Amino acid sequence: MSAGTLIEVVVGAVAHGGHCVARHEGRVVFVRHALPGERVVARLQAGGAGDRFWRADAVEVLDASPDRVTAPCALARPGGCGGCDWQHASLDAQRRLKGQIVREQLVRLGGVDVASVPGLDALVAEALPVPDRADDGLGWRTRMRFAVDAEGRAALRRHRSHDLVAVEHCPIAHAEVEETGVGVKRWGPAEAVEVVAADVPPGGAPGEVQRLVVVEPSGAGPRVNVPPLAAEASVALRTPEGLQRVRGRTWVQEHVLVDGVRRPFRVTGAGFWQVHPAAPGALTEAVLDAARPRPGERAVDLYCGVGLFTAALALRVGPQGAVLGVESDDRAAADARRNLHDLPQVSLETGRVERVLPRVAGPDGGGWDRADVVVLDPPRAGAGRDVVEAVAAMDPRVIVYVACDPASLARDVATAADLGYRLAAVRALDLFPMTGHVECVATLVAHSSGDAR
pLDDT at 452: 44
User: Hey, what CATH topology would domain 256-446 get?
Assistant: Rossmann fold (3.40.50)
pLDDT at 453: 40
CA within 13 Å, CB half, 146:
33
- Three-state DSSP string of 369-393: CCCCEEEECCCCCCCCHHHHHHHHH
pLDDT at 207: 58
Q: Where are the domains of the chain?
A: 6-68, 143-253, 256-446
Residue in 397, 394, 407 with CA at minimum distance from that of residue 436: 407
> Do 54 and 24 touch, CB atoms closer than 8 A?
yes
pLDDT confidence of residue 282: 97
Residues 6+ apart with CB under 8 A from 26: none
CATH number of 6-68: 2.40.50.140
All residue ranges of the chain with pLDDT < 70 are: 1, 47, 200-208, 220-222, 365, 449-453
Residues taking part in catalysis: 404
CA 243, CA 235: separation in Å to the nearest integer? 10
- Amino acid residing at 446: A
8 A C-beta contact, residue 141 and residue 276: yes
The helix or strand, by DSSP H or E, that contains position 415, with its residue range, turns out to be helix 406-418
Contacts of 132 (CB under 8 A, 6+ apart): 204
In this structure, what are the phi and psi dihedrals at residue 334, rounded to the nearest 5 degrees? -65, -40
Give the pLDDT of residue 222: 62
On whether the CB atoms of residues 284 and 309 are closer than 8 A, the answer is yes
Look at residue 104 and give its three-state secondary structure.
helix
The side-by-side arrangement of strands in the sheet containing 126-127 is 126-127, 421-430, 439-446, 398-403, 373-376, 298-302, 322-327, 346-350
Per-residue model confidence as pLDDT tens digits over 159-171: 999 999 999 999 9
Confidence at residue 366, expressed as pLDDT on a 0 to 100 scale: 72
- Round to whole Å and give the CA distance between 227 and 224: 9
DSSP characters for 189-255? TEEEEEEEEE---GGG-----EEEEEEEE-TT-S--BPPPPSS--EEEEEETTEEEEEES-SEEEEE
| Neighbouring-strand partners of residue 77 | none
Rg of the Cα trace of the chain?
A: 23
Q: Tell me if 72 sits within 8 A of 171, measured CB to CB.
A: yes
